[in-house]
Structure 1
Amino acid sequence: MRFTLATPEIRREPVEGLLAGAAEVDITPPPGLPKAGYSRNARTGVGYRGRLRARVLHLQTGTTALAIVQCDLLGGSAVLQRAVAAATGFPLAGLFLGATHTHGAPGQFLGTDLYNGFASNRPGFDPVWTKFLVAQISEGLTRAVDTRRPARLAVGATEVWGLTRNRSLPAHVRNPVPDQRTAPQRAYAAVNPRLHLLRVDGTDGDPLAALVVFGVHGTGLPMSNSVYNADLWAYVYEELQARLGPAPVVGALQGTHADVAPALRPGRAGDVEAARIGRGIGAAAADLWATLEPELRDDPALGAGFREAGTEALPTPALGAALIAGAYENETPVVHRIPPFRAGTPKPHSATDPHGAKWVLGSRWLQPVVMPARRFPRTLPVQVLRIGSTLLVGQPFEITVDAGRRVASAVTAATGLDDVVVTSVANEYAGYCTTPEEYSRQHYEGGHTLYGPGTAKFLAAQAAELAAAVGDDDMITEAPIQRTFDLPARRYWPERSDALVDPRPAGPARFVDVTADQDAYWEQGWYDAPPGDLTWNEPIARVERAPGWETLIDDSSCALEVRYAGKNRYLVRWHAPELRDDREYRFVVRGLALRPFN
């Protein structure tokens, strides 16, 4: 499928002071789409537990307009970024499309064939799913702009310990320690504990938005999980929203997380652990929110810069053998024990070898035949947003902790600003970025660093140069107005049948008891129209409680799960139910009240 997207630069009319608006939209798709993040080990989605959402935070001072989009997706996408800019007329320089990097959402929307083909359990670019995402995000951006009002903002940071761990420690400890006094603590300081929070309030005191940036993989749930979900980030949102109230739009961006995993208890991947870790992060963010009120300002300087950097100065991209073995917490059975796939088995090499210690999968000669260069990312988006004295740096790679520190240091040296927040997987997904020292060890992260050991240095230079050029009220775009994509397409979004089917019950509710990694739940079935006929990004199910049948919980919560069981049969599950007294409860699905239970 070949198509061209045009993004003409449109300068905004100047405004006085700071204006801000925020909106949230539902991006939950129907069953049938491949999930991204676990590659061939992933599952095709059969429903959802907690909804997938996109949140938009819009800020403008003077003529500088920013739109920070936070999606419950594997990463950003050049297709989505440019299509949303074209649909809304929003300037490309200020349109930041970030993600939480959940492994529980569909792929098939990216701007490169490689990751549409291999990030999910099935290949291809789905134009219908992509069109849906563009429409929903554009609606959210338009609503955020239309509802903007005078505002104040503040950015702060705190440290979160004990909820994350470095999953590639033998590679990480090869990095030099600038301050030798910290050397004995290397194993304990192998994560980035910094959690940043952007708080935005209206000048009337009403909270508008909270944006969290923190580095941890969205892998709290196992590869076998088959429902769409935001992984541990769903619980970050729920905890933060519970503490702040329903008013602010709450979202998150992924930090420098490539070698950072959630600190799951051994063998306990699942919603119980994802909830424990996510709620801990959300609680820390809520505590930070409360401390920022005295720091709120209505006159922050804003600026934006966006560059699409070519990869001509980097080696021809190549996949490494260590990629096949998988990451530490999700290793490929048997294969992860066999050299050269096994982590920590680098290749002997000469100093002139552009890929250094990487065993190129299939060899340097055969891989380009099977995987030609056109399938790899060849354009790398780099973005810098200036928000007061904070610089938000977005890059398309999953960036390791130490690689992120080096990018931040380069930006600080170029700008003199110390508060540099580096985020991963922004505006596209392009694999990993390790330091040269980590790369030399050839763990999963190094094997997945496509452009060789100099990738981090290249990214740091690009970010530093762009950041130095972005001043107050600057909007710098170093990218062509038009960009053409050529992506093999395959539709997974189910077709409509337009069958006239009303929902009907399918048996009584049943209780499933708790296990080591899964909470207990009540489950009930019903029959309905085919999946393509239902609107999955609108409410489907809720739980009501007698007497009076008041709504107790709906499917915006992680406590409710809806899944398609085949042959037009569906299941609704209420997880961790809090049944009180002898009251009766019932599920209501698409307006149909099912049989009560207690």
Structure 2
Amino acid sequence: MKKTIKRTIYGVLLVLVVAVGAGVHAVWPFLAYPVVDVQISRVAPQPIRGEAEAELPQQFMAGIAVRDITPPIGIPKMGYSAWARDADGFRNRLKARAFYLKPVDGEPLLVLQADLPASSLVLQRRVAELVAANTDVAVHNLSIHATHTHSGPGQYFASDFYNVFGSNRPGFDPEVFEFLAEQMAAAVQEAYQQRRPAKIAIGSTQMYGATKNRAMGAYVRNENVVDKQENDAAALRAVNPLITLVRLDGLAADGSYQPMGAFSTFAIHGTGIPPFTHPYHGDVWAFFERQLEANIREHYQPPWPVVHGPFEANHGDNNPNYRTGLRGDIETRRIGLALAQRAWQLYRSLDDQLTDQVTLYSAQRELDVLDLSDEDKGMLCERAVVGAATVGAAKNDEVFPISYLPPFQRGWPDDPVGDCHGEKRWMLSKLQAWGLQPWRYPHRISISAFRINELLLVGLPFEITFEAGNRMADAVATAAGLQNVELAHVVISSHTNGFFGYSTTPEEYSAQWYEGGHTIYGANTTPFLARESAELVASMLRQPGYYDLPEHWQFNLLSAHYYPKAVAPEGKRVQLLPPAFTDATTHQEPHWQTQMLDVSPSHINLHEPLLSIEFSDDGKHFSVLTDQQGTPVDDEGVDLQIIYDGDSDAGMARYFLRWYNPEIAAPGRWYRFRVEARQGQDTFFSSPFR
């Protein structure tokens, strides 16, 4: 009996020690990290005047541009929180794609797509500030939409909460932030400069089988859901299957209109690549992006590069439908290519629907949850609180044992006690409110909307579940109907201009799965957002160019620096290991690999051209290798990888180079890796292999 009591006491003490340790670890950055002050002004854009204006044809105009936004090696990755790892290279590089649209009358629209884990209010405001002097794009005409890859960088958010807890290491990194802002602003400016007379077509198609609902225990609580089954077949049905695509064709020198590209939406988490992985990766979106681009290039052969920028619809509980036990690169490719094939069919079906008659409106409003008007109060909680279910992680991302302990396990709601957060079981109980003041959480909500002909898109800084998005779509469609606007497509886009966690329905919230635990402003978040979105849409349709934004923004953020420290190279590039082939296995794609000595990560700019493959039919004279569609085999694609393998001496470092899914050679054909010159180092060529 005494031994049992002792063990119980020791067990309780151990739990208390762990809880206190976790609390101290969580609060430490808030006590010790320096604060950086980011100030941004709402700058009026530069209007087109004089001769330049007179030279422009009076018709619909569009421009598209791309910039690479792959940060350096060593940046913490965001999406899997503590289970993430610092980036050690890339499997495929991350991009930002800018789509500039300008009607004959009225203001332009700038849709900025980014291969990032989430959007960011401070980033959107900064990009708008940077482009105002050189474009006619105002802050309320620009929206940043993310793919939500969980293999991208963190440390660029507008709240301490997500800068500290969204990644594996804490703090807002001013260098990561400014790098992203400058690259994205450059894409916007180029898209504006490249504008030309254009035509547009909009369509949608269904894609079942690529996704499945990961939170069926919460989803079936919705009062309007008749089918209460929670099996795999039901999970494949409880998803948003729509690919919605906006195609843009531009006027070429020969007088014809040729494809420029498209942006599209789909509802799928960027979680095909699991936690604990290191390289940057665009996830399923990388294959979706590049394959559709390749199909357009091959089929239409336009006189310019083609750009596809897909981003999230309401995806909060919709996961990639990867096969059990096979999650990773192989399944990510399979799902992404399936999306690209369906989108390609849709793209081609729009050939005869292109028009230069374009109605285009955009609008944006900002609300501060900590300073709501009397009219807006009463639905959102006065302060944000994170539920214990958030620590337990989403289904299929569980980590033993924490995800299975009752306080953190999904479906473990608290008894409602009358406060605004209802069934939510607070993480760290009242210690959370003591350690994290309300302003540490995201609290400035940017709601944006745009209409392009028969398409209405509302962008929100939340991860919106399938049913929550349905209810929001109904609300905004009703608002449009009251303005006598007929719509064929209504899209609710997650991860737009910020990040606030999740938005579930009140019924889903009551179940306290991961998504409900991560709905940080309470059970009525979705009804609130539906109401506010409908009001914004009504204002936009009544008053084109509507916005309600401050003149100035100030963000005080806990900061840290993760950019690699500069190390002067004193050695020379050399090959350390000859290329060797690894055959395919159940979990591994076939690939060639070599190891080389190169400059330190501080001089490896991953956003610049780096790797490519060359071939030779005699082993002596090499040329750039292209694939079957005529595209160079280089790091603009999805199959060349660089991985940092540690520092060496003389300011150098070791790297693995890999070529996945290589060409099956004809007899006598040779290949070699090529690494571009940099930092006084000559172009590197591996030894030939076949």
**TM norm structure 1:** 0.97
8 Å contact kept, 1:221–1:270: yes
The equivalent residue for 1:348 is: 415
The equivalent residue for 2:115 is: 72
The equivalent residue for 1:549 is: 622
Measure, in 2, the Cα distance between the counterparts of 1:325 and 1:404. Answer: 24
Match of 1:165 among 208, 212, 228: 212
The equivalent residue for 1:96 is: 143
Note the alpha carbon deviations across 1:428-448, whole angstroms, 9 max, x for none: 111001000100100000000
Measure, in 2, the Cα distance between the counterparts of 1:328 and 1:109. Answer: 27
8 Å contact kept, 1:173–1:187: no
1:469 paired with 2:539, answer: yes
Match of 1:211 among 263, 275, 283: 263
How far off is 1:373 after superposition?
1.0
Q: Please say which of residues 447-456 and 520-529 is displaced more in the overlay.
A: 520-529
Measure, in 2, the Cα distance between the counterparts of 1:549 and 1:539. Answer: 19
1:414 paired with 2:479, answer: yes
Match of 1:525 among 591, 595, 607: 595
SS at the partner of 1:256? coil
Amino acid at match of 1:415: A
1:193 paired with 2:259, answer: no
How far off is 1:9 after superposition?
3.3
Note the alpha carbon deviations across 1:255-311, whole angstroms, 9 max, x for none: 111101000100111110000000001111111001112221112111111111121
8 Å contact kept, 2:261–2:293: no
SS at the partner of 1:499? coil
Measure, in 1, the Cα distance between the counterparts of 2:544 and 2:568. Answer: 50
| RMSD between superposed Cα atoms in Å | 1.9
The equivalent residue for 1:286 is: 344
8 Å contact kept, 1:157–1:288: yes
Measure, in 1, the Cα distance between the counterparts of 2:156 and 2:45. Answer: 25
1:33 paired with 2:75, answer: yes
Measure, in 1, the Cα distance between the counterparts of 2:212 and 2:196. Answer: 41
Measure, in 1, the Cα distance between the counterparts of 2:47 and 2:534. Answer: 26
Q: Please say which of residues 275-284 and 195-204 is displaced more in the overlay.
A: 195-204
SS at the partner of 2:281? coil
Note the alpha carbon deviations across 1:481-537, whole angstroms, 9 max, x for none: 200000111111112234354422112112223222220211111111111122221
Measure, in 1, the Cα distance between the counterparts of 2:559 and 2:454. Answer: 43
How far off is 1:543 after superposition?
1.0
8 Å contact kept, 2:209–2:236: no
Measure, in 1, the Cα distance between the counterparts of 2:646 and 2:228. Answer: 60
**1:102-501 alignment to 2 at 5 Å?**
102-177=149-224, 187-203=235-251, 204-245=256-297, 247-311=305-369, 312=372, 313=377, 314-315=380-381, 316-350=383-417, 352-363=418-429, 365-416=430-481, 417-418=486-487, 419-471=489-541, 474-501=544-571
Amino acid at match of 2:385: A
Note the alpha carbon deviations across 1:178-202, whole angstroms, 9 max, x for none: 7889999964431000110010001
How far off is 1:472 after superposition?
8.0
SS at the partner of 1:527? strand
Note the alpha carbon deviations across 1:215-267, whole angstroms, 9 max, x for none: 00001111122100101111101221221117321111111111010001001
How far off is 1:581 after superposition?
2.6
8 Å contact kept, 2:389–2:410: yes
Task: From the superposition, tell whether residues 11 and 556 of structure 1 become closer, same or farther in structure 2 (CA, over 3 Å).
Answer: closer
SS at the partner of 1:144? helix
SS at the partner of 1:139? helix
How far off is 1:63 after superposition?
3.0
SS at the partner of 2:287? helix
Measure, in 2, the Cα distance between the counterparts of 1:161 and 1:435. Answer: 23
Task: From the superposition, tell whether residues 91 and 99 of structure 1 become closer, same or farther in structure 2 (CA, over 3 Å).
Answer: same
SS at the partner of 2:511? coil
8 Å contact kept, 1:305–1:383: yes
8 Å contact kept, 1:177–1:183: no
Task: From the superposition, tell whether residues 284 and 497 of structure 1 become closer, same or farther in structure 2 (CA, over 3 Å).
Answer: same
Measure, in 2, the Cα distance between the counterparts of 1:407 and 1:111. Answer: 25
Measure, in 1, the Cα distance between the counterparts of 2:92 and 2:70. Answer: 9
Amino acid at match of 1:28: T
Amino acid at match of 2:642: V
Measure, in 2, the Cα distance between the counterparts of 1:574 and 1:394. Answer: 38
How far off is 1:3 after superposition?
2.0
Amino acid at match of 1:212: S
8 Å contact kept, 1:235–1:558: yes
8 Å contact kept, 2:62–2:195: yes
Match of 2:665 among 563, 580, 583: 580
Q: Rg bigger for which structure?
A: 2
Note the alpha carbon deviations across 1:25-77, whole angstroms, 9 max, x for none: 11111110001100000111000111110000000112311110000001111
Measure, in 2, the Cα distance between the counterparts of 1:44 and 1:186. Answer: 37
Q: Please say which of residues 380-389 and 305-314 is displaced more in the overlay.
A: 305-314
The equivalent residue for 1:7 is: 42
Measure, in 2, the Cα distance between the counterparts of 1:207 and 1:183. Answer: 43
Note the alpha carbon deviations across 1:355-410, whole angstroms, 9 max, x for none: 111101122x3211122212101111100011112111100000000000011000
Amino acid at match of 2:685: A
8 Å contact kept, 2:212–2:237: no
Amino acid at match of 2:244: H
Measure, in 1, the Cα distance between the counterparts of 2:180 and 2:536. Answer: 29
Amino acid at match of 1:116: N
8 Å contact kept, 1:302–1:472: no
Measure, in 2, the Cα distance between the counterparts of 1:262 and 1:69. Answer: 24
Measure, in 1, the Cα distance between the counterparts of 2:685 and 2:235. Answer: 54
8 Å contact kept, 1:303–1:472: no
8 Å contact kept, 1:383–1:393: yes
SS at the partner of 1:153? strand
8 Å contact kept, 1:173–1:186: no
Measure, in 2, the Cα distance between the counterparts of 1:113 and 1:212. Answer: 31
Question: Which consecutive residues of structure 2, in runs of 5 or more, have no partner in the other structure?
Answer: 1-35, 299-304, 626-632, 648-652, 677-682
Identity over the aligned pairs, expressed in percent?
37
SS at the partner of 1:64? coil
Amino acid at match of 1:358: K
Measure, in 2, the Cα distance between the counterparts of 1:11 and 1:405. Answer: 38
Q: Please say which of residues 240-249 and 542-551 is displaced more in the overlay.
A: 240-249
Q: Please say which of residues 450-459 and 487-496 is displaced more in the overlay.
A: 487-496
SS at the partner of 1:4? strand
Q: Please say which of residues 529-538 and 139-148 is displaced more in the overlay.
A: 529-538
**TM norm structure 2:** 0.84
Q: Please say which of residues 493-502 and 121-130 is displaced more in the overlay.
A: 493-502
Measure, in 1, the Cα distance between the counterparts of 2:516 and 2:496. Answer: 20
Task: From the superposition, tell whether residues 565 and 436 of structure 1 become closer, same or farther in structure 2 (CA, over 3 Å).
Answer: same
Measure, in 1, the Cα distance between the counterparts of 2:368 and 2:474. Answer: 23
1:596 paired with 2:688, answer: yes
1:49 paired with 2:115, answer: no
8 Å contact kept, 1:9–1:481: no
1:507 paired with 2:577, answer: yes
Measure, in 1, the Cα distance between the counterparts of 2:64 and 2:544. Answer: 22
Q: How many residues align?
A: 596
Note the alpha carbon deviations across 1:99-145, whole angstroms, 9 max, x for none: 10000111101111110111110111111111111111111111000
